Structure 1
């Protein structure tokens, strides 16, 4: 089994287990003041020291941490987990969220905007069979996945591509969103709360997404329950700009009540318990 792990190439998390381990390493660095020893990694993650060293080497090659003598340290304690390692997380809950969102999108000729993220990517896959649908997105992964569908019209923004999320951000992306009007914007988020609205880790991403929601008749925020009640660096949408929140049943019920009290329609799907 360990021989299989040793053949994995840097930057290619080829299994759900390895992807989960990579997320665990980055989460430990974020939680423990940015410095963690090999011994602590092995104890907290339940894997061998050689496995941890291989993972640390791969993550360093990706620029996500710096190895030290006997461990590793974060090179940016505020950095979010890259999208390639988030894809396996809460997969079934995200699929159920996507099914619910698809039910909320009108049939017939219609235009929607999708931000980046794994949950919005699930929404794109759920909508991929719809006829007469126009999808505007700044997500390279989403555009690549659905652009070959002849029934869809896919519009990709320009902009600077963020390496952690594969989203185009900045003035070019903002101008694209600012030049069009869509019926619904589906917004992924790193946090949503009654205190901070919808937020993300990167201020450029926040400005780009704000341009998207400002030109939509309806804004639906999609997120797994772990991000409900969380506030991150930059606001993408005020509470008054959000019409619907679709999340799962692991979300904090008190925070959902506070969001509902702010006139946001809250839709909850069942969480996929381990």
Structure 2
């Protein structure tokens, strides 16, 4: 197929950033929202990009996640809003488990001024961030260190987390399918996340808009096992109904 200059530039923009909202693309290229939607729909139909509610991302694999450095900048503004919403909901003097992921790391930055926290984590980046909070005790799980993102996984990690029962288990996710299934890429990471769910009095899930309708290989859980979902854009069908039916509280971190 032949792309016009705007479509070629749009495709390159999304591939460079990894993610873009429809509003951002319309502003950047000086066209209407309808024009951008037609362009991205055509690119998605031809397998060049993947659509999700409110935006578009690079087409990704079901077996391998996007590189960590790219994920760090992917929808950074949306993740920052989610982090602020989560931080405002976390009470001082509570216990938490924080797992692997760039959104979770952003949440850790939002907790550096909280008092009286006890945080268990299998993420060395989270541990390093919260080390700057003198009023937060950080407990780091043992296991196999995954060098690409400093996550700690494996059976030793699972056994370590089984010692605890915390107030809040806060997890990230790679993909949420249309039936509410939560999925990720590494089965070792998934086993740790399942254990976090089992050993938390409340389970909070942080997922930006790009995670919805995104496929990954390993089933982690169902969204009905979550108590609160924090995201950065209003949910579209069928996710809004699934959460309502499951009794999951959805917190949308709107732009200020």
Counterpart mapping for 1:157-196 below 5 A: 157-193=141-177, 195-196=179-180
Shift of 1:174: 0.6
Distance 1:267 1:243, change over 3 A: same
Aligned position for 2:88: 103
Q: Compute the TM-score of the two structures, normalised by the length of structure 1.
A: 0.68
Shift of 1:183: 0.2
Unaligned runs of 5+ in 2: 1-11, 20-46, 49-57
Unaligned runs of 5+ in 1: 1-16, 25-30, 33-44, 46-73
Tell me the distance in 2 between the aligned counterparts of 1:77 and 1:223.
17
Where does structure 1 differ by over 4 angstroms across 4 or more consecutive aligned residues? none
- SS of 2:73's partner is coil
Which of the numbers 7, 16, 23 marks the counterpart of 1:21?
16
Q: Is the 8 A contact 1:82 1:165 kept in 2?
A: no
Q: Alignment RMSD, CA only?
A: 2.9
Shift of 1:270: 2.3
Aligned position for 2:53: none
Aligned position for 2:25: none
Which of the numbers 104, 116, 130 marks the counterpart of 1:146?
130
Q: Is the 8 A contact 1:143 1:156 kept in 2?
A: yes
Tell me the distance in 1 between the aligned counterparts of 2:233 and 2:17.
26
Q: Is the 8 A contact 2:209 2:233 kept in 1?
A: yes
Aligned position for 1:80: 65
Tell me the distance in 2 between the aligned counterparts of 1:177 and 1:165.
20
Distance 1:130 1:77, change over 3 A: closer
Shift of 1:194: 5.4
- SS of 2:129's partner is helix
Distance 1:100 1:236, change over 3 A: same
Aligned position for 1:59: none
Shift of 1:204: 0.8
- SS of 2:86's partner is helix
Q: Are 1:245 and 2:229 matched, yes or no?
A: yes
Q: Compute the TM-score of the two structures, normalised by the length of structure 2.
A: 0.73
- SS of 1:92's partner is helix
Tell me the distance in 1 between the aligned counterparts of 2:62 and 2:162.
32
Tell me the distance in 2 between the aligned counterparts of 1:82 and 1:169.
18
Which of the numbers 121, 125, 137 marks the counterpart of 1:137?
121
Shift of 1:140: 1.4
Counterpart mapping for 1:1-274 below 5 A: 21=16, 23=18, 78-107=63-92, 109-193=93-177, 195-249=179-233, 251-270=235-254
Tell me the distance in 1 between the aligned counterparts of 2:236 and 2:129.
32
Aligned length: 209
Distance 1:271 1:148, change over 3 A: closer
Shift of 1:112: 0.5
